Chain A
Amino acid sequence: MDDNMLAQLVDLGFDITVAQLALEQTNGKGLDAAIEFIYSFSEPSKLSSQKSNSNVTPTPTPPSSQQEPSGIRRSNSKNKSTSFEPISPQVTHKVLKTSRKSVKESVDSNVSYEDNDTSLEYNDTDEDYDEDYYQDVDDYEFDIPIHDALPKSNTVIQASDIIHTALKEIEKISSITETTPSAATILLQHFQWNGNKLLERFYEDPERVITQAGIKKINEFHTGKNLSDDCMICGDSLDDSNGCYLSCKHYACKECWANYLRIKIQEGESIGICCLGFKCPNVVPDEFINRVIPENYNKFLERLAQTYVEKNPNMRWCPTPNCGNALKAESQAETTAQCSCGFRICFKCNQESHVPADCAQMKTWKKKCEDDSETANWINVNTQDCPKCQSAIEKNGGCNHMTCKKCKHEFCWVCLGNWIGHNKCNTYNREENSNKSDTKKQLERYLFYFHRYNTHEQSKKFETKLRTDAVNSMIDFQNRKDKRWIDVKYIEQSTEVLIQCRRTLKYTYVFGFYLPDGPEKNLFEYLQNDLERTTEKLSGLLEKMNESNSMDVKEITNLASTKLHHLLSGVEEGFLGH
């Protein structure tokens, strides 16, 4: 790291850790790049400030050579990076604070500080502020918005809304194609709920689409007509209270129709139940079902919602037990989706999202784990001995930084090495095993990866606990410290980032297991190790959560997010830049 640049940054008024971080992240590309990086943290809030902050007068803009077209407020922070040199370090420091202040303020857009923003000097004159409101102004100065670890590009449809969503879709198609809802339902079913494809085809040739979907005479049905024929099922005579038939004129009484439809619905059919006539392809419209068995109509709608999710190639059920939500990706190109319950699914194999490993690797890996599980079980006992005093220790929290209760020895749960000076335990050391047989070496290599995979898998079990803890400390902070929800929301966000990191780390061991040796693997393992260390750090911080380390938590959270991105984009694009 360039100490010179670090010194310059500190002189400019940046916090030393922030400066270090910035230089690290920009790989010494220069002072400007580092400054740019620091400001990039506050980007999302700046956007929100443009949206929500019309009632707040703009903060004073320092001498500026260029104006951003997108907004005065945004130009404020932008200018600092472009016109740094002419401003003295002292002033810059204040400008930085001003901008952060404005960022924070933008979140609470109902509060105006017109009286206070008249001078760049306001940080030196704290008394000018409304003391109550700004008593924790120190927090504001360094507040960092937290970004999501992994982007989410899907919508979550809550369990209770699925029927409603399906009906809305039907309504939309019905109004565009000018057909009845019954017909629209069958059309949608015919096109696997792909509304766009349906409309495209419909505009090309509406007649053909209607014939193909079999809805030509869908609206021609009767539920109560006096007929000369008897019911073809039970032989009762048909009068105007019970004579029912569709356009195909298979006459039956209401009771027989009801029994027939009930059985079909019970068997799991919904849209697309055919007429009870032998080999009759006529589809029973939902309005007919509603009239014959109104008491079972809700069940029918439930089935409809089910096919809505199951037949739609862009939708999946969330596999979490009792969740019941449906996930909808924007397009079929999407490979993952995240549910509001926190579950992340791979759209291709319907398992938990397993980036960076691919579906084929996961399949081979799972099979391998099953085959070798006896050995693995034997090796992978639930307790480990403290490397110093040999007391058996059971891990009941997520962090791998262990401190023996008995002898206070600190060690890494994964490699059992001393925590002090511990920095790298994700690389399989082949030299160590050079004089062992090939099979044994292979097994050991597998167990090495399996052990790490499993350790992260075990940590997953504490996810629920982590989430509860996060909510508890958020409530606790709000009660004890008189903080607002917006001030403590970062705890929840950090917890989610931690969970995402752990999940990804778990699958990096599968990926690593199948990655051939070479410079690519070295680079991968370097990034993996990097992420692992940051994750452990974040985990440790969250475990001993208190109000004084909020800044650390936020910084480490963002650091972990960035490292996760680096790792995943590295895997996606190839590490060596082909």
Chain B
Amino acid sequence: MSNPKYAKRLQKELLDLRNSPPTGILIDEAETFDRWVIGIEGMSGTIYQGERFKLQFRFNSSYPLDPPEVIFIGNVPVHPHIYSNGHICLSILYDNWSPALTVSSICLSILSMLSSCTEKTRPADDSFYIARAVGKSPKDTRWMFHDDKV
């Protein structure tokens, strides 16, 4: 459940995404302010050309002061920074989060991360990581001192 103060912000972001979506970014599901699913398309000229992926966003009441939880669901791209359980190793989602970032800017960052990749491989510690991260949010596995209340 979103904080009324920030519902307005999500409302605004949703409106922007609907009216002028950036290339390769589409809203799949945005019924509530708790969970959105955004579809992204591999850009042409990259190794992911023509592939479609789904990103799941979960917002807590402190968004945007607190980053949303972002993971791939369904078809997870094979990428050195993306684990096979959908968790993404991207600093702006955790330590380098800024409240100035938006759903749209996150999607663009992830797209650019995919675009700059030249070889489809899983992270070296994939099997080790996913075994430990079962049932956990990527935010918890990374943020050792993270406190959900804030």
**Across the interface, do B9 and A260 meet the contact criterion of CB distance under 8 Å?**
no
Selected interface stretch from A228-236, A338-346, A553-561: A228-236
CA of A58 to CA of B62, assembled, Å: 78
Q: Smallest CB–CB gap between A287 and chain B, Å?
A: 22
Whole-angstrom distance between the alpha carbons of A234 and B2 in the complex? 12
Q: For the complex, count residues of B whose C-beta is within 8 A of A.
A: 18
Q: When the two chains form their complex, are residues A235 and B8 in contact, meaning their CB atoms are under 8 A apart?
A: yes
B110 at the interface (CB under 8 A from A): no
A476: min CB distance to chain B, Å? 52
Cα distance A244–B78 in the bound complex, in angstroms: 43
Shortest distance from the beta carbon of B113 to any chain A beta carbon, whole Å: 16
CB atoms of B12 and A259 under 8 A apart: no
Please report the C-alpha to C-alpha distance between residue A256 and residue B9 in the assembled complex, in whole angstroms.
Answer: 12
CB pair B65–A277 under 8 Å, yes or no, is no
Name which of A234, A236, A252, A256 has the most chain B CB atoms within 10 A of its CB: A234
Q: Which residues of A contact B101 (CB under 8 A)?
A: 278
**Neighbouring A residues of B150 by C-beta, 8 Å:** 263, 266
- B1-44, CB < 8 A from A: 5-6, 8-9, 12
Please tell me the size bucket of the interface on A: 10 to 19
Which residue from B6, B12, B62, B98 sits with its C-beta under 8 Å from A277?
B98
What CA separation (Å) do A260 and B9 show in the bound complex? 15
How many A-B residue pairs have C-beta atoms within 8 angstroms? Tell me.
Answer: 45
Q: Is the CB of A250 within 8 A of B8?
A: no
**Given known A-B contacts A233-B64, A259-B65, A263-B65, A279 and B9 have beta carbons under 8 A apart:** no
Least CB separation from B100: chain A residue = A278
Whether a CB of chain B sits under 8 angstroms from the CB of A327 is: no
Contact of A260 among B8, B12, B99, B105 (CB under 8 A): B99
Which residues of B lie under 8 Å from residue A278 when comparing CB positions? Answer: 92, 98, 100-101, 105
| Contact among B62, B96, B100 for A276, CB-based, below 8 A | B100
Whether the pair A234, B9 counts as a contact (CB closer than 8 A) is: yes
Q: Which residue of A lies closest to B64 (CB)?
A: A233
Nearest residue (CB) in B for A236 is B8
What per-residue 1/0 map shows which CB atoms of A227-266 lie under 8 Å from chain B?
A: 0000011111000000000000010100110011001001
- Shortest Cβ distance from residue B80 to the other chain A in the assembled complex, whole angstroms: 23
Q: Does A176 contact B (CB under 8 A)?
A: no
In chain B, what residue has the closest Cβ to A277? B100
Given the interface contacts A260-B65, A263-B150, A266-B150, does A255 sit within 8 Å of B98 by beta carbon? Answer: no
User: Cβ of A280 < 8 Å from any Cβ of B?
Assistant: yes
Give chain A interface residues in 257-297, CB to chain B under 8 Å. Answer: 259-260, 263, 266-267, 276-280
- Tell me how far the C-beta of B106 lies from the nearest C-beta in chain A, rounded to whole angstroms: 11
Which of A234, A266, A267, A279 touches B98 (beta carbons < 8 Å)?
Answer: A279
How far is the CB of B14 from the nearest CB of chain A, in Å? 12
Q: How far does the Cβ of A517 sit from chain B's closest Cβ, in whole Å?
A: 49
Instruction: Tell whether, in the assembled complex, residue B99 and residue A256 are in contact, meaning their CB atoms are under 8 Å apart.
Output: yes
Tell me whether A233 and B100 are in contact in the complex, defined as CB-CB below 8 angstroms, given that A263-B65, A263-B150 are known contacts.
Answer: yes
Please judge, given known A-B contacts A234-B5, A263-B65, A263-B150, whether A279 and B12 are in contact too, CB under 8 Å: no
The 7 closest A-B pairs by CB, nearest first: A278-B98, A278-B100, A235-B12, A233-B99, A234-B9, A235-B9, A277-B100
Return 20 A-B CB contacts under 8 Å, by A number: A233-B64, A233-B99, A233-B100, A234-B8, A235-B9, A235-B12, A259-B62, A259-B65, A263-B66, A263-B150, A266-B150, A267-B145, A276-B99, A277-B98, A278-B92, A278-B98, A278-B101, A279-B96, A280-B98, A280-B100
Residues of A within 8 A of B (CB): 232-236, 250, 252, 255-256, 259-260, 263, 266-267, 276-280
Contacts A232-B99, A233-B64, A259-B65 aside, 4 further interface pairs with beta carbons under 8 A come to A232-B100, A233-B65, A260-B65, A263-B62
